[in-house]
Structure 1
Amino acid sequence: MKMFGSVTIVILYVCLLTSLYRRCSQARHIALNPVEWNVYAYLKYELYGCEAVSPAQSTGQNVTQDIEDNQVFVTSLSPYIIDRAIHIRPEASLTIQAGVRVLFTNTEAKLVVYGRLRSDGLEGLRVVFSHNSLPLGDSAFRWDEVEVKKGSDVMLTNTDIWQAQRGLRGDADDMDLSSCGVYVSSSGIVLTSGKKNRTGQAFTGGIVYGCGQGIELSSGQQLSHFLFRSYEIVNNLNEGIITKTKNCGLEVENSQISDNRGSGISVSGYSPLEYMRMNKVDVTGNANYGALIYVNQVVDIRFCSFRTNKYYGVHVQGHTQALFAVFQNNSFEHNGRSAVYLRLSNVTFTGNTLTRNGDRYAVEVTDYRGTDKDSCVISGNILHDNYAGVYIRTSSNVTFSYNFITGTQSKHAVYVDAEWVLFTYNEIVNNSAAVFIKKFPQYSLSMNTFINPESEYEIDTNLPFSESYFINAAYNYWGSSNGSFVRSRVRDAFINIDLVLIFVSPFFVTSDLAELYTGQDPDEFTQDDFTIGGRLVQNVTLRRNTSFSVTRSIYVPEGISLMIEPGVELRFPGCPYLSDGYGNIPYYRGWSLCGNEHRGSYSCRMPKRISA
């Protein structure tokens, strides 16, 4: 201590002269953590190393006998070397301290647990099970496995397993894993049965990297639960997670399943899951499906991301009609085919974002087993710049609402093949093709916005004409206040009389859906000196020796008559049609039908439809 006036300076010298270790310590980083100082912090630290000692020269403990009592693998005697199958007997226990390395010398060497195993690694001082070769990760060297027998008690914390045939194998109910990693093994984790209780301890904070199969799940006769939280399942040579037997339930949360050479998750149709839940999972860059799921009861996927998977982001197929699926607030981007393919009856698909997905519809929902008691809800989703939009082919009740679809590059923004559809408050804009309706529907299409100038029609259909059915597409906004333009944006009986009628009036003339069109109904019959067309609302007579171009199909409803006097010539430049909806079209000799140099004749048989 030295005094300089009123200032006192304390000089403390700490000198580490020599530190001798019985073993070699290997590390990439040395961390210093000063916890207290006075006024200013100053530290000078010098670290002197030596040449690395080869494994053959290092000291260690050979484990040659089974564990038959309570034993501890201590850090100061590490590594522990095993060259055969070592058994932890039912009444015995083995505790492994932080920093211990357990080295296995050949493919017959393994650890078999009947009793109790505790591996107590720390975050910066992990326990390692590996082959005794260096460097770690050399796939030419393998040992067998850590095998957990039924009824044993295993707890692994901050423990890594390298270069095994099967890193860890046994019943999930007999083990707890926290912050454990399995690397470069033929199979990462093989679970022969799950937790008996769904609220049981999950496997948390683990990594499965560079293995053949990442995680394999199977089960016994009763329902088993597999729970993974904060896991990284990445860069495996086949599937990230694969199930091989029935009676499994799988939950994955806050995890990453990425860059596997097979599917991220693969569930066989021969062994469907009972339920599947995913929450905040990143499924990215897998070389097959993001998730291929066959399931019996429930699929619940929320706040997940499916990106750049080669084929589908998610492919789900139900094995029972009782299946219910929820997809909420997920994102799907750059998947090679569909973002989502659902072969299900009961679906809730809400709040999802789908961007630039592959060569099929971004969302495909298809199932004929549904009834009007089943529900398919697709609401509040955003789709932009996909190859195609949404494909619905189901017998369930469909609610399609509050979706925004733009930038589809081919096919349709929405393709609907369903009987019960509520289609409302959607924005379908700037797509190459808009909405296609396939099945005779009980539809309500209202309060939507359709603005797709690159599409030939806003609504297209191949439904045949019927006196019993029509589609009501009133109360929508079509991007224009011109009635004739709005009528031209729908392909129906007014374009081709063989098609169903679609009524578009009244319609909105403002994008906020506030102001309605007040002009003449664009569906109604109009006649001037040169053109006629539309749906008759009163009796009309076409006077003799006149000529008209039929610019829209003429529809004569029941109870209304269209009288055509002799000498009338009707021309069909765009090949529209003349229809009798069981109204009255008296026939007179002397009038003709003309269209593109074709002259036809008129037949009075009912129902009356003729074409140019």
Structure 2
Amino acid sequence: MWDSSKTFNISSDFDMDGEKRGGRLTEDTVLIPDNQTTLDFTIHVPRGKTLTIRSNGTLQFAQGTGIFVQDAQLEKFVIKNAHTGINAVKGSVLVVDCVIENSVTSGIEAVLAANQTLRLRNCSIRNNNQHGVVAKGSTGTYTVDTDNFTNTKFVSSGDTRGLHIYGRSSGQSDYVRVTGNTFTVQQQCLKIEYIRQMWIEDNTFTSTTDTAVHIAQWTLDTLTIRNNTFRDSSKALSVNLHNVAPNDALVIIDNRFLDHTAGPVVQLEFSNYKATSYVRGNVFQNNTGNDASVLYVINDVGTSTEAVAVVDNYFDNPSAAYDVKVKIPYTEGHAMYAVRNWWGGASSSHVRSRIFDYASDSTTATVQFEPYRLTKETDSLSQTENGFVRDNGIIGGIVEEDTVLVKKQTSYVVEDDIVVPAGVSLIIEAGVSLLFRRGGITVEGTMRLLGKEDDEIVLQPHSSGSFRGIRFQEHWSGSASMPAYR
């Protein structure tokens, strides 16, 4: 912290031989240090004064000192081993072609009010102890009017967040633009909270132990996440949005999500959110993880399955149990759209196995995945089919029309929870054998089991273990019949 008892007036002869260096500026100042300039005390730049630091010099700090600033422009500068590299309070800061490294707390800390800006261009923010850069809103105001971070490297091997931007309100039209940067940190690369307009484009994110990018907002105008590379992180992206936003407010387009080791790789969580957002043209490849899912969509409004349209994406994640998983309350007649995607294989059974939805858990929403891409290189699409009975005796999912399972030489293999909706019947004839890989049978409509004493119907797990059995929904109003025999 700046100590007023150790204040020295600084003018253009700031670094005159024999003088202590540091203190409060009394006029606009241009500082041109040599290669070994050391600060004895914190530089304090009060409101209305401007400090411009130029040349390729290195400014070193005595322990506990730094720059306490309200308006500043830094060009071609190295700041290292400070308590806080730059501390900006209610003022605008432009940092160009600079290196800020090894700060005790953060490389840059900024508290901004309306119409104030923090801009970084072509900088390197390295190995600062708490944050690379943190920008917050001042009390009683909405936080950052404009934040612009371009072509900057955020690097840390320690317990550090790269860039954290925090707004205190949702009533202003503030915006943040993060473009062309490289983040390589252990914890979160980028965290943005309560900013209404955001553009995150052309960046590279790597976070070895945490979610690379986390965004939370109550009221959203625009969030565009475009043409970024997320690679070798624990998880890639988490977006939490609350309340209604305009259609197209959230667009996740043309990004690459590669080689993540935990899941979900991308989590989109909505609350009271009924607008349409788009996940389009992205590549999800070689992602693994113990959470099972690559893209996880959560919404507390069952009729808002249309909140996300997942279209024209490339999924190829054989070590993940699912590519898309939804946790949206089931509502009849509503489905989340996930069409024209490549799922790593061309068969309907393979595609269904990559999706966790109503067919796997009848309490959650349906995912409409047809038509889907038959190859990853072309635009050829599948033909929509009745997806309950599939290739090679595989069955599962929603029984979309009245269906009869007849006896055959081999067993039917059930890949997904069998769901019999209201108004639809499923008849299983004598001698039929069902082997359940997972799930069971959920009945809302009509089911008839026509086994005979000498030709039984067999329902059992595919291998060792158990399956869920037959479940009749709470408000079931259909019918079920099974013969009685001894």
Which TM-score applies when normalising by structure 1?
A: 0.61
Q: Once the 2 structures are TM-superposed, how far is the Cα of residue 227 of structure 1 from its aligned partner?
A: 1.7
2:40 pairs with one of 147, 160, 164: 164
1:382 Cα deviation from its structure 2 partner: 1.8
Q: Distance in 1 between the 2:469 and 2:227 partners?
A: 55
Corresponding position of 1:327: 200
Closer, same or farther: CA 356–129 of 1 in aligned 2, 3 Å: farther
**Partner of residue 414, structure 1:** 295
Residues of 1 paired with 2:350 and 2:363: CA distance?
Answer: 21
**Residue of structure 1 in register with 2:123 after alignment:** 255
In structure 1, stretches of 5+ residues that fail to align are: 1-106, 120-126, 133-142, 196-201, 421-436
Map 1:198-237 to 2 at 5 A. 202-219=73-90, 224-237=91-104
Q: CA deviation at 1:503?
A: 4.6
Q: Give me the whole-angstrom Cα distance separating, in 1, the residues matched to 2:385 and 2:190.
A: 45
Alignment pair present for 1:189 and 2:73: no
Query: Would the aligned equivalents of 2:182 and 2:204 in 1 still touch at CA under 8 Å?
Result: yes
CA distance in 2, matches of 1:538, 1:171: 73
Aligned equivalent of 1:606:
476
CA contact 1:458–1:489 (8 Å) conserved in 2:
yes
Q: 2: distance between equivalents of 1:109 and 1:585?
A: 86
Alignment of 1:293-372 (within 5 A): 293-295=165-167, 297-308=174-185, 310-318=186-194, 323-344=196-217, 345=220, 346-357=222-233, 359=234, 361-372=235-246
**Larger Rg belongs to:** 1
| Equivalent position of 1:87 in the other structure | none
Matched position secondary structure for 1:413: strand
Q: Is the 1:416–1:438 Cα contact (8 Å) retained in structure 2?
A: no
The CA RMSD measured in Å over matched residues stands at 4.4
Asked if 1:264 is matched to 2:132, the reply is yes
Call closer, same or farther: CA 1:371–1:601 in 2, change over 3 Å: closer
Q: Which residue type is aligned with residue 301 of structure 1?
A: V
User: What secondary structure, in the 3-state scheme, does the structure 1 residue paired with 2:42 have?
Assistant: strand
Structure 1 residues 611 and 417, CA gap change in structure 2 (3 angstroms):
farther
Post-superposition Cα deviations, 1:292-337, rounded to whole Å, max 9, x if no partner, equal: 22136111111122223x421122112x6xx211111112234542
Question: 1:350-385: per-residue Cα shift (whole Å, max 9, x none)?
Answer: 12122222x4x2222113145245711111222222
- The answer to whether the 8 Å contact 2:211/2:236 transfers is yes
Residue 289 of structure 1 is aligned with which of 161, 165, 174? 161
Q: Distance in 2 between matches of 1:181 and 1:527?
A: 69
1:449 maps to which residue?
314
Cα shift at 1:338? 2.3
Taking the aligned partners of 2:470 and 2:215, their CA distance within structure 1 comes to 51
Instruction: Tell me how far 1:203 sits from its aligned partner.
Output: 3.0
Give the CA deviation at 1:131.
6.4
CA distance in 2, matches of 1:556, 1:470: 16
- Determine if the alignment matches structure 1 residue 384 to structure 2 residue 261: no
Cα pair distance change 1:210/1:523, threshold 3 Å: same
Looking at structure 2, the residues matched to 259 and 602 of structure 1 have their Cα atoms a distance apart, in angstroms, of: 56
- Residues 274 and 450 of structure 1: CA distance in aligned 2, closer, same or farther (over 3 Å): closer
**Which amino acid in the other structure matches residue 573 of structure 1?**
L
The percent identity for this pair of structures is: 18
CA–CA distance in 2 between the matches of 1:277 and 1:264? 15
The aligned amino acid for 2:321 is E
Aligned to 1:508: 373
Secondary structure at 1:236 match in 2:
coil
> Shift in Å at residue 253 of structure 1?
1.5
Q: Deviations over 1:137-161 (max 9, x none)?
A: xxxxxx4624212xx3433334564
Is residue 526–residue 534 contact of structure 1 (8 Å, CA) maintained in 2?
no
Task: Please give the secondary structure, in 1, of the residue aligned with 2:341.
Answer: coil
Matched, 1:277 2:156: no
Larger relative contact order, structure 1 or 2 (CA cutoff 8 Å, min sep 6)? 2
SS at structure 2 position matched to 1:112? coil
CA–CA distance in 2 between the matches of 1:527 and 1:228?
Answer: 61
Instruction: Supply the distance in 2 between the matched residues of 1:465 and 1:245 (Cα, whole angstroms).
Output: 44
Q: Which amino acid aligns with 1:508?
A: R
Q: Distance in 1 between matches of 2:79 and 2:49?
A: 19
Could you give the per-residue CA deviations for residues 434-487 of structure 1, whole angstroms, max 9, x where no partner exists?
xxx997445544433333322334444455654322345454333434344444
Alpha-carbon separation, structure 2, partners of 1:249 and 1:600: 61
Which amino acid letter does the alignment assign opposite residue 236 of structure 1?
S
**Which residue does the alignment assign to 1:147?**
24
Q: Distance in 2 between matches of 1:533 and 1:109?
A: 77
What SS class does the counterpart of residue 123 from structure 2 fall into? strand
CA distance in 2, matches of 1:362, 1:240: 24
Q: Which amino acid aligns with 2:414?
A: T
Unaligned runs of 5+ in 2: none
Give yes or no for contact 2:294–2:323 (8 Å, CA) kept in 1.
no
Contact 2:284–2:315 at 8 Å: present in 1 too?
no
**8 A Cα contact 1:572 1:596, kept in partner:** yes
Structure 1 609/165 Cα, relative in aligned 2: closer, same or farther at 3 Å? farther
Q: TM-score, normalised by structure 2?
A: 0.75
The CA distance in 2 between the partners of 1:304 and 1:601, in whole Å, is: 53
Equivalents in 2 of 1:291, 1:204: separation in Å? 20
Q: Report the secondary structure of 1:165's partner residue.
A: coil
Report Cα offsets for 1:39-61 as digits up to 9, x if no partner: xxxxxxxxxxxxxxxxxxxxxxx
State whether residues 166 and 188 of structure 1, in contact with CA within 8 Å, keep that contact through their aligned partners in structure 2. yes
Give the letter aligned to residue 263 of structure 1. H
